[in-house]
Amino acid sequence: MLRITSAQINPTIGDIAGNISQMLAAARHARDEQADLVVFPEMSLTAYYPGDLLDDTDFQVRVQTGLEQLKLATRETPHLFWVVGAPVRRSGVGKPFYNALLVLKNGELVLQYAKQLLPTYNIFDERRHFEPGPDLARVLRVGDVQIGLMICEDGWNDGAQDYAVNPFQRLADAAPDLVISINASPSNVGKREQRHSVFGQACARHKLPLLYVNQIGGHDQLVYDGASFALDAQGSVVFEAKRFEEDVTTLVFDPKTQSFTARDGVALPSVPREGLPTMEFYRRQIVLGLRDYARRCGFAKAVVGSSGGIDSALTLVLAAEALGANNVVGITMPSKFSSAGSVSDSVALCRNLGVTLVEHPIASIVAAFETGFGAAFGQPLKGIALENLQARVRGTTLMEYSNSFGHLLLTTGNKSEVSVGYCTLYGDTNGGLGLIGDLYKTEIFELCRHLNASAGRELIPFGIINKAPSAELAPGQKDSDSLPPYELLDGILKHLIEGDRLPPWEREQADAQLAQLRGSAEGHALIGKIQTMIARNEYKRRQAPPVLRLRGRAFGSGRQVPIAAVHYA
Q: With 70 as the cut, is the pLDDT of residue 474 above it?
A: no
Q: With 60 as the cut, is the pLDDT of residue 550 above it?
A: yes
For residues 56 and 164, membership in a common domain is answered with yes
pLDDT bin (cut points 50, 70, 90) of residue 500 is confident
**Active-site residue 152, yes or no?**
yes
Q: With 70 as the cut, is the pLDDT of residue 481 above it?
A: no
pLDDT bin (cut points 50, 70, 90) of residue 356 is very high
Residue 310 forms part of a structural domain:
yes
Q: With 90 as the cut, is the pLDDT of residue 189 above it?
A: yes
Residue 68 forms part of a structural domain:
yes
For residues 20 and 77, membership in a common domain is answered with yes
Rounded-to-10 torsion of CA 547, 553, 556, 557: 130
At 464 the three-state DSSP class reads helix
56-106: per-residue pLDDT in tens? 999 999 999 999 999 999 999 999 999 999 999 999 999 999 999 999 999
- CA-to-CA distance for 145 and 492, rounded, in angstroms? 53
Across 378-404, average pLDDT:
94
Q: Which residues in 113-131 are b (16+ Cβ under 10 Å) and which e?
A: bbbbbbbeebbbbbeebbb
Q: With 90 as the cut, is the pLDDT of residue 569 above it?
A: no
Q: With 60 as the cut, is the pLDDT of residue 374 above it?
A: yes
pLDDT of residue 503: 87
Residue 92 forms part of a structural domain:
yes
pLDDT of residue 535: 93
- CA-to-CA distance for 94 and 302, rounded, in angstroms? 44
For residues 266 and 188, membership in a common domain is answered with yes
For residues 125 and 190, membership in a common domain is answered with yes
**Over the chain, what is the mean pLDDT?**
94
Q: What is the CATH number of the domain that holds 157?
A: 3.60.110.10
402-450: per-residue pLDDT in tens? 999 999 999 999 999 999 999 999 999 999 999 999 999 999 999 999 9
452-473: per-residue pLDDT in tens? 999 999 999 999 998 876 655 6
Q: What domain range includes position 183? A: 2-275
Q: With 70 as the cut, is the pLDDT of residue 340 above it?
A: no
Residue 103 forms part of a structural domain:
yes
Q: Which amino acid, one-letter code, is at 113?
A: Y
149-164: per-residue pLDDT in tens? 999 999 999 988 889 9
- CA-to-CA distance for 252 and 494, rounded, in angstroms? 44
> Phi and psi for 538 in degrees, rounded to 5?
-60, -35
For residues 70 and 105, membership in a common domain is answered with yes
Q: Do residues 148 and 115 touch, judged by C-beta distance below 8 A?
A: no
For residues 141 and 237, membership in a common domain is answered with yes
Q: With 90 as the cut, is the pLDDT of residue 248 above it?
A: yes
Across 520-526, average pLDDT:
92
Across 354-362, average pLDDT:
96
Which of 275, 305, 328 represents a domain boundary (last residue)? 275
Residue 545 forms part of a structural domain:
no
- Closest by CA to 502, choosing from 217, 236, 289, 278, is 278
The tally of domains found in the chain comes to 2
For residues 131 and 226, membership in a common domain is answered with yes
95-140: per-residue pLDDT in tens? 999 999 999 999 999 999 999 999 999 999 999 999 999 999 999 9
pLDDT of residue 480: 63
Which of 253, 275, 297 represents a domain boundary (last residue)? 275
276-332: per-residue pLDDT in tens? 999 999 999 999 999 999 999 999 999 999 998 999 999 999 999 999 999 999 999
Residue 406 forms part of a structural domain:
yes
Across 23-39, average pLDDT:
98
Across 159-173, average pLDDT:
92
Q: Do residues 409 and 435 touch, judged by C-beta distance below 8 A?
A: no
551-566: per-residue pLDDT in tens? 999 999 889 898 888 7
Residue 157 forms part of a structural domain:
yes
pLDDT of residue 479: 63
Among residues 42, 126, 321, 443, the one annotated as catalytic is 42
Among residues 105, 126, 131, 152, the one annotated as catalytic is 152
Q: What is the pTM of this model?
A: 0.94
Beta-sheet pairing, 328-332 with 302-305:
parallel
Q: Of all residues in the chain, what percent carry a pLDDT higher than 70? A: 96
For residues 38 and 57, membership in a common domain is answered with yes
**Active-site residue 115, yes or no?**
yes
Across 218-233, average pLDDT:
97
Residue 543 forms part of a structural domain:
no
**Active-site residue 42, yes or no?**
yes
For residues 200 and 235, membership in a common domain is answered with yes
Among residues 115, 415, 441, 494, the one annotated as catalytic is 115
pLDDT bin (cut points 50, 70, 90) of residue 46 is very high
For residues 358 and 250, membership in a common domain is answered with no
- CA-to-CA distance for 341 and 224, rounded, in angstroms? 38
Long-range residue pairs from 470-476, CB within 8 A, at least 24 positions apart, any chain: 470/309, 470/339, 471/387, 471/391, 471/422, 472/307, 472/335, 472/337, 472/338, 472/339, 472/342, 473/335, 473/337, 473/387, 473/388, 473/390, 473/391, 474/337, 474/387, 475/337
H/E stretch holding 7: strand 2-8
pLDDT bin (cut points 50, 70, 90) of residue 477 is low
pLDDT bin (cut points 50, 70, 90) of residue 191 is very high
Q: Do residues 558 and 122 touch, judged by C-beta distance below 8 A?
A: yes
Q: Do residues 328 and 316 touch, judged by C-beta distance below 8 A?
A: yes
For residues 162 and 181, membership in a common domain is answered with yes
For residues 114 and 221, membership in a common domain is answered with yes
Which of 423, 454, 479 represents a domain boundary (last residue)? 479
Q: Which amino acid, one-letter code, is at 232?
A: D
Q: What is the CATH number of the domain that holds 370?
A: 3.40.50.620
Cα 464 off chain centre by:
27
